[in-house]
Amino acid sequence: MKTYMEKLKHPKWQKKRLYILERDNFTFCYCNDKETELQIHHLKYHKDPWEAKNEDLLTLCKDCHQLVTAYNPSPRSEEHTF
Ligand SMILES: [Zn+2]
């Protein structure tokens, strides 16, 4: 049984992650910061990260991601994805 963090290294997730990054033009957050590391925010969680629907995934910079996660704590926020 793989952990969630291990699953995020799966080629299926890496491919989807890239798709989302390109769809969002490499940012979807309010700060317009082009320097900070980008992460993918899951609005809904699934057993496997690549099962998430594209509309449930958002490209956020690391700082905005932390803010969003703080305001919307999910049961799995401690394993939050990037
Ligand atoms: Zn941001």
77 has a pLDDT exceeding 60: no
Element containing residue 66 per DSSP (H, E):
helix 62-71
pLDDT at 13: 96
Quick one: tokens of 24?
């969002």
Does residue 81 form part of some domain? no
CA of 61 from ligand 1 middle (Å) equals 4
| pLDDT tens digits, one per residue of 47-69 | 899 999 999 999 999 998 988 88
Domain residues for the domain of 39 are: 4-71
Q: In angstroms, what is the span from residue 41 Cα to ligand 1's centroid?
A: 12
Q: How many angstroms is it from 58 CA to the middle of ligand 1?
A: 11
Number of domains the chain contains: 1
The model's pLDDT over 13-42, given as tens digits with 9 standing for 90+, comes to 999 999 999 999 887 787 877 788 999 999
pLDDT recorded at residue 27: 77
Position 40 scores a pLDDT of 93
Nearby residues for ligand 1 (ion, Cβ within 5 Å): 29, 31, 61, 64
Q: Is residue 20 part of a domain?
A: yes
Residue written as token pair 């390109």:
22
pLDDT at position 17: 95
